[in-house]
Structure 1
């Protein structure tokens, strides 16, 4: 028992002396921790090709968590990390056991020339016997590579480099049934290994007389399952027949560079010659009926909306009853009643004028003793409301008195029941 304890103590002491480093930098200097960077692809590298960069972290003990790093910024290149999980393995090198982690990211160079991946900072934590957890920062070495344009594609404007490139086309119905007013949907699917979905080409063509087309937003899919980096673009186009006759849907040609065989290849979607038929009399009648139904439906909906808006406008904006008469017309009625010496009619229009066009709170026609009233106005009331047979008075002075009351700006008006006033 004592011998076993002694051997264990000596072993731990030896390990402590062997791995006495207390910092990650010292472990790297002693070659107990390493970081390696390399480019997976070899041979001729072309513009737009996906280049896979592998970072390998290794230690003679074990890692205490995932090693983290930030993707580098490379001018004229797109850098993405398509493999987010990485992989782990154990290797025995020169009689020593190493624990390794592999991380990968992709670089898509957009121009030809020389590129450099700068030194990448990695946050790492490892376990050291006799010391415990040791964490810190380590850096990879810079990595350089050259990118060019294949000689066969030097004068080609648009092409795509990939390990594989496929294009398929589908229509949702036969061309034989196409007539004016009918529609048909076209689906073009592009699949490529070694590209991102956003890099795949958009499908479109110039307008076709008699056959309108509408390109829908594409569906972009990137799949990175079990090492297969497949990009897919699903493009749908709706065609609507506007008139009968023969039309040609133009062909579409794709030029791509096979990075496996390093050859230029072509894919073509052949042109379609379509005969758009005439509508039969019955079909024309049905089409006209549908158009009329849609027209009346839109008309009724528009009319209902108009009625609702008018109703809402009246409810919200009309807060008071507007005067039924213009001020000039009321004054004319007062003058006419004064000229005709018609006291009843004069009082009626005096009420209208004072209530709608002046400060009604300033004059009270029913209170003859009010200071503002005068003899002529009081006499006017007496001739109407007092005993029968009383001599009528001159209304000229009363008219002048009524018209002296100035109109009050912004005065709110109310509906007046004129039936309470004397009638002619």
Structure 2
């Protein structure tokens, strides 16, 4: 009986020992505000913690927030943080949430996958962590502002251009005005359309607006391009009214506005006005949305000039071509990802990361150097800590070598970094030569950046 109890205890202890080797990982979400206005961006920062380190990038599940647009920025930032007296390696990224309806809502739990090695090991294993749901409140548009005029942005600029010179204008001329609205920190779909006022002596015919989105590593900007055709009908002075756009700056908590000043046009008389009526009809046809379905169908036939069966044949061929193209692209993307995965396992990839760590992230240099050295060992072996110290310029009995202490305290001198990079390049070349000529992997003189 005692023997069985001892066996059970040994089994429990072995299971516990194995469990303790697993890396401690978890994730947190932090938002910059608890309440925002409609269209005001809410920044949600996701930070993943590991008690070891990360051997793969973060992969986040598709984020969907009710009554809001969610825009993830998957550029990750690395670092370290002490939690409850224990040091963790961290990776973080952020999302911008653009709500479009007032009320209470939440950022749902997110699934994040990555790879981390168990404690005491170096090979990464898949890790899945989940974030908690984060509630927040969306405030309605202030009562003193019309909802159609409401837009939230960091800044807005206005500019205009014309398709022709505004000199020597005469009756019957058609000029085109282009107005660009650039809004930093908002989505292009949130930029309100401009009102087209009626002006005596001219007819204004707006065209369909175009929108464009620009995404950087830190934010989004929207652009709205509006074009109008102006038919000059009467001679004399014509004044186009000013155009004003207002916005709410969420960081300064203040409303601002930009204005395009009014513009005066001088229209000269034109004795030949026979084309005026046809010009007006042509411009009206561009924006006529009340045509009957029969008339619209006739216009389609007149535009394309093909019989229905020919149009159907072209459509079928186009669909088949798109399916073929989609499969080829999908195959190419898969092949690229596989090559990328293999590259991330290669010695060249970790060598490049090691050189970058010297310049940008010295505190991770020792860890990355260790992972790089693993690429030179056999599959069933890995370099010991003392081998790593020897490569870095230390010996078994000397634990006070300046370079090793420098790495651990994140103080690689700026003046020493070019020399260190040059030395690493030379040592890699020697390792490549040694790999071809012999099985010795670490027969190198100590590295000392303080020389």
TM-score using structure 2 length = 0.51
Tell me the residue number matched to 1:35.
Answer: 27
Structure 2 SS opposite 1:62: coil
| Aligned with residue 237 of structure 1, among 219, 228, 249 | 228
Change (3 A) 1:135 1:44: closer
Mapping for residues 1-400 of structure 1, pairs under 5 Å: 20-21=18-19, 27=23, 32-40=24-32, 42=33, 45-81=36-72, 83=73, 85-93=74-82, 97-128=87-118, 129-130=120-121, 132-149=123-140, 151=142, 153=144, 157-206=148-197, 208=199, 210-279=201-270, 284=272
Deviation at 1:38, TM superposition (A): 1.0
Change (3 A) 1:155 1:51: same
Structure 1 segments unaligned to the other structure (5+ residues) = 1-15, 292-424
Distance 2:108 2:34 in 1: 22
Change (3 A) 1:252 1:43: farther
Deviation at 1:230, TM superposition (A): 2.3
Distance 1:261 1:68 in 2: 34
- 1:86–1:101 Cα contact (<8 Å) kept: no
Deviation at 1:195, TM superposition (A): 0.5
Distance 1:204 1:215 in 2: 10
Deviation at 1:124, TM superposition (A): 2.6
Distance 1:156 1:88 in 2: 38
Structure 2 SS opposite 1:253: strand
State the Cα deviation string for residues 244-282 of structure 1 (Å, max 9, x = none). Answer: 344443443323111121112233334434332112x6x
- Structure with the greater alpha carbon radius of gyration: 1
Distance 1:148 1:19 in 2: 51
Distance 2:107 2:86 in 1: 31
Deviation at 1:241, TM superposition (A): 2.4
Structure 2 segments unaligned to the other structure (5+ residues) = 1-13, 280-451
Distance 1:180 1:19 in 2: 91
Deviation at 1:33, TM superposition (A): 1.0
Structure 2 SS opposite 1:71: coil
Deviation at 1:36, TM superposition (A): 0.9
State the Cα deviation string for residues 375-417 of structure 1 (Å, max 9, x = none). Answer: xxxxxxxxxxxxxxxxxxxxxxxxxxxxxxxxxxxxxxxxxxx
Change (3 A) 1:263 1:226: same
- 1:216–1:235 Cα contact (<8 Å) kept: yes
Change (3 A) 1:156 1:270: farther
Deviation at 1:204, TM superposition (A): 4.4
Structure 1 SS opposite 2:37: coil
- 1:191–1:232 Cα contact (<8 Å) kept: yes
Deviation at 1:49, TM superposition (A): 0.4
Distance 2:45 2:81 in 1: 20
Distance 1:88 1:19 in 2: 32
State the Cα deviation string for residues 42-87 of structure 1 (Å, max 9, x = none). Answer: 3752111011211111212222322222233222212222x2x312
Structure 1 SS opposite 2:189: helix
Distance 2:60 2:39 in 1: 24
- 2:34–2:136 Cα contact (<8 Å) kept: no
Change (3 A) 1:133 1:118: same
State the superposition RMSD in angstroms.
Answer: 3.6
How many residue pairs align between the two structures? Answer: 264
Structure 2 SS opposite 1:198: helix
